[in-house]
Amino acid sequence: MTENPSGPRRTSPAHTRAGSLPAWSLLAAGVVAGGLLGGTYGLVRTPTYTATSYVVAVPTQKSDSATALGFAQAYGRVATQLAVLGDAQVWAGVPVQTLKSSVQAETSPDAPMVAITATSSRPELAADMADAVSRALTRHANDSKADTDVELRQFARAVKPTEPSSASAGVTGLVGASAGGLLGGLALLVRPRRTADIPGRPASVPSPATAADVHGQL
């Protein structure tokens, strides 16, 4: 019987340790790594603040509430247009492009009201931008009041925010942990499955009865 001169193949310690790790270790590692990355991002990023100003459309004696509601929807669509933002930049003290990227307008299908929301890394600037756009929109709307029979009035000025509207480090950490857990679960699904045929397993030794039969036939 010919023996293998190189001897039985041995499995490396690194391969043995990797194979002995429990399946949930990938999931746990993903959760921990994702939580750390998400929490760190929440700590180092610049917080943002949000302020909202409200204007309301009021019908004149020649109009009605339905007409005011319709014009409120129209004013909400033009609130972030260049004609309005061009005037608002003077009162806000920021370029038009800053207003365009930082200000949004929303309307309600039930109330003739327009909400002007601004975001900034400075709380006072967020309030100033929201009020500036509301003021400019009101001025443009009232220039054509004789034709629309609808007057736009300021309903509520923006209040300087005291807390950031961006997610805290705890929230971003939870989001990161969830994403890391998801990636860890996907890694569990796609990793190769362990089988009984592991490379490097020592060759099997024949039983004494089988060896005796072979010797008798020689």
pLDDT tens, 135-146? 999 999 999 888
Range of the domain at 125: 49-156
Task: Starting at the earlier edge strand, list the strands of the sheet with 49-59.
Answer: 103-107, 113-120, 49-59, 150-156
What CATH number is given to the structural domain containing 82?
3.30.70.1130
Distance (Å, rounded) from C-alpha 3 to C-alpha 149? 104
Do both 36 and 81 map to the same domain? Answer: no
Residue 78 falls inside a structural domain: yes
The pLDDT of residue 79 is 94
Do both 54 and 149 map to the same domain? Answer: yes
Do both 41 and 55 map to the same domain? Answer: no
Residue 7 falls inside a structural domain: no
CA-wise closest residue to 131 among 98, 81, 86, 92 = 92
How confident is the model over 151-166, as pLDDT tens digits?
999 999 999 988 876 5
**Threshold 0.85, pTM exceeds:** no
List beta partners, residue 210: none
Can you list the alpha helix ranges (DSSP code H) found in 57-144? 65-78, 82-92, 96-102, 123-143
Do both 176 and 120 map to the same domain? Answer: no
Do both 41 and 53 map to the same domain? Answer: no
Do both 60 and 143 map to the same domain? Answer: yes
Residue 215 falls inside a structural domain: no
Is 17 a residue whose pLDDT tops 60? Answer: no
- When pLDDT is cut at 50, 70 and 90, the band that residue 105 belongs to is very high
Using DSSP bridges, classify how beta strands 150-156 and 49-59 pair: parallel, antiparallel or unpaired.
antiparallel
CA-wise closest residue to 114 among 49, 51, 53, 161 = 53
Is 88 a residue whose pLDDT tops 70? Answer: yes
Residue 29 falls inside a structural domain: yes
Count of domains forming the chain: 2
Distance (Å, rounded) from C-alpha 135 to C-alpha 25? 58
Residue 209 falls inside a structural domain: no
Do both 33 and 91 map to the same domain? Answer: no
Do both 131 and 54 map to the same domain? Answer: yes
The pLDDT of residue 30 is 67
DSSP 3-state of 182: helix
Do both 55 and 105 map to the same domain? Answer: yes
CA-wise closest residue to 69 among 105, 107, 106 = 107
The pLDDT of residue 38 is 65
Distance (Å, rounded) from C-alpha 183 to C-alpha 180? 5
Q: Which of 28-37, 123-132, 163-172 has the lowest mean pLDDT?
A: 163-172
Do both 85 and 138 map to the same domain? Answer: yes
Do both 69 and 143 map to the same domain? Answer: yes
Do both 183 and 140 map to the same domain? Answer: no
How confident is the model over 190-212, as pLDDT tens digits?
666 554 444 555 555 555 555 44
DSSP state of 160: P
Torsion angle in degrees (nearest 10) through CA of 82, 86, 87, 92: 110
